[in-house]
Structures are given as C-alpha cells and as structure tokens.
Amino acid sequence: MSVPETSLWRRLTSAPVLDTEEKTLQARTFHRVAWATTLIGAFFLGVLIVEQPPSLGRRAGSVLALVAMLAGLTPLNRRGRTRLASCLFVTGLVLLVSWRAFTSGGVSAASSALFVIVALLAGVLLGTRGGAVTAFTFIAVGVGMVVAQRAGWLPPSELTFTPPSILVYNGLALTLAVVLQHEITLTVRQSLRRAEAELAARQHTEERLRIALEAGKVGVWEMDPRPGAWSSTRGSPTSTE
C-alpha cells in the first residue's frame, strides 16, 4: 500500500481516541459494533451466495451497503459525532433489513429474524430508548407487511429459502447476538471499574482529610437544631454542650 492508502486504512481500523474517557468509550463501542456487523454480515452473505449463486447480485448489493455505511460513518465517529453515526447506522440497517424482507416474502422471510438483532444493536449503541424506538419501528414494518400480504401487494419473492439458507440466516443472527452480548458485558465491566476507581479516589481523599484534621487538631462540627446540641463529625472529638 502507498502512504495515503495506509493512512486511510489506519483511520478506518484503529480504535478512536477522543478528548474525554466517556466519549472514547462510546466511540470505541460504535467502532467495534460497526466493524463486527459488517464483517460478520459479509461472511454469512458470502456463504449464502455460494449456497445460492443466482442471488449474487442481491446479496453482493447488501454487502456493498454495509461496507459503504462503515466507510462513511467511521470518520464521523472519529470526529466525536458518535451519536449521529449510531443513529445513521441503525437507520441504514433498519432500511436494509426491512427492504430485504419485503422483497423476499414479508415477515415469513428468513431475514426477518434480524429484526430482533438490529433492535438489540440499537439498544447497545443508542440506549434503551433507541432500542425501543427501533423495536416498535420493526413491529410497524411487520404489521405493514402482513397487511400488504393479505391485500396481495407484496412483490413476488426474489429468493427461495432452503433449509441450508435458513440455517445460515440463523447463524448470522446468533453470531451477531453473541457479539452484542459481549458488548453489553464489556460495558457493565467498564462501568463497575469506573465506579470502583471513583470510590477508591474518594476514600483516599477522605483518609487524607482525616489525617490532616487529626494532625492540626481541627474539628468539624455539626449542629442538631432540635436539642440545640453540637456534635463533632470530624477531627478532634469534643464533648457536646
């Protein structure tokens, strides 16, 4: 690779670093999820192309859509616009999965199993509200497909779902579910580590304050207004009056 190509590749693949720890963690979560979704999706779609060669054009188009979203949103994420990049990524996945289901049999299509996975992905990237909005969007899409099917408005399916192809779709959904489960576990662990670090820092500060008060024989007092008594809360204890 030439120097510009190497630099571009590094910008796409290296973990982002932003100005605060919180932003960096969020940006890296998007980075991992977007890359994992694209690579896993490309792999299983490639397997489906091998299984059903006539679907090459359709499924290659899906792979290109995933790659285009990754390439277009990674720079946005690296500039600190992680929330916007996540919204656009989830929106793109909703449109892609919904359209593929619509043109391959509606809610009975094997690809409709990805509705749940994309809703979970939205929850990881956008929080509970984002996941809920995505889930209700898919419910509305599903209802629309059922109505369209009963009215005879669904186009003829472009695919034939054989047992091997259904197995591949299930493998795609399960693999993405494992990735998302890992992300949730990682987020919980990071939150616990941060809470433990903050607690340790607070305890260290309180210990230094206690030592300083005792060394200077300084007391911190607190008054209970009901009995009108003063009590020592820090430093040298003194009798109440």
The answer to whether residue 200 sits within a structural domain is no
Q: What is the pLDDT of residues 131-165, one digit of tens each?
A: 999 999 999 999 999 999 999 999 998 888 999 99
The answer to whether residue 212 sits within a structural domain is no
The structure tokens listed for 207 are 């210990």
The answer to whether residue 202 sits within a structural domain is no
In this predicted structure, what is the pLDDT of residue 96? 97
In this predicted structure, what is the pLDDT of residue 231? 56
Nearest Cα residue to 219 out of 238, 241, 240, 235: 235
The answer to whether residue 45 sits within a structural domain is yes
163-216 and 114-151 are packed helices; what angle lies between their axes, rounded to 10 degrees?
140
Give the C-alpha separation, 234 to 219, whole Å: 6
82-102 and 114-151 are packed helices; what angle lies between their axes, rounded to 10 degrees?
40
Q: What is the pLDDT of residues 113-122, one digit of tens each?
A: 999 999 999 9
Give the C-alpha separation, 25 to 183, whole Å: 11
The answer to whether residue 207 sits within a structural domain is no
Q: What is the pLDDT of residues 194-227, one digit of tens each?
A: 777 778 788 778 778 777 767 776 666 666 666 6
The structural domain count of the chain equals 1
The answer to whether residue 237 sits within a structural domain is no
Q: Whole-prediction pTM value?
A: 0.80
Q: What range does the domain containing 37 cover?
A: 3-195
The answer to whether residue 80 sits within a structural domain is yes
Give the C-alpha separation, 29 to 24, whole Å: 9
Least confident of 32-41, 162-171, 218-227: 218-227
The answer to whether 144 touches 137, Cβ cutoff 8 Å, is: no
pLDDT band at 228 (very low <50, low <70, confident <90, very high): low
- pLDDT at residue 234 greater than cutoff 60: no
- pLDDT at residue 25 greater than cutoff 70: yes
The answer to whether 236 touches 225, Cβ cutoff 8 Å, is: no
The answer to whether residue 231 sits within a structural domain is no
Buried b (16+ CB within 10 A) or exposed e, 176-198: beebbeebeeeeeeeeeeeeeee
